[in-house]
Structure 1
Amino acid sequence: LGRPIDNGGNQLIVTSRIAGYHSAPMQSPLTHVTIQPMESASVKSFCDSWMSAVYVIEDKGRSDIKNIRKKAKAEAKKLHQIITEQDGVRKLAQNPLLLTILALVFRKQKQLPKLRAQLYRVAMEILVNVWRDCNMSLDEIIQSLAPLAAFLHANRPMGLISGEDLCEKILQARRETEELRNVPEEQIVEDVRKFVNVVSE
Structure 2
Amino acid sequence: MNTQPQFQAAPEEIPVSDLSPRASLKSVTHEVPIILEHALIRNLAMLQQHNLASAEDCSQVAAQVRRSWENGRGADPIDGLARLRSGNGEMLDASVEVISSKMAKSLPFAPTRVPFAARLIPPTAFYEKFPQIEQLCRLMLVPVAFTEDLDVIGIASVNPFFADTLAVAIADELKKTSPVKPIISSVRLDYVGWKKMCEKHFRESY
Scaled by the length of structure 1, the TM-score of the pair is 0.27
Larger radius of gyration: 1
Instruction: Point out the structure with the larger helix share.
Output: 1
**Bigger relative contact order (CA 8 A; separation at least 6):** 2
TM-score, length of structure 2 as denominator length? 0.26
Greater strand fraction, Structure 1 or Structure 2: 2
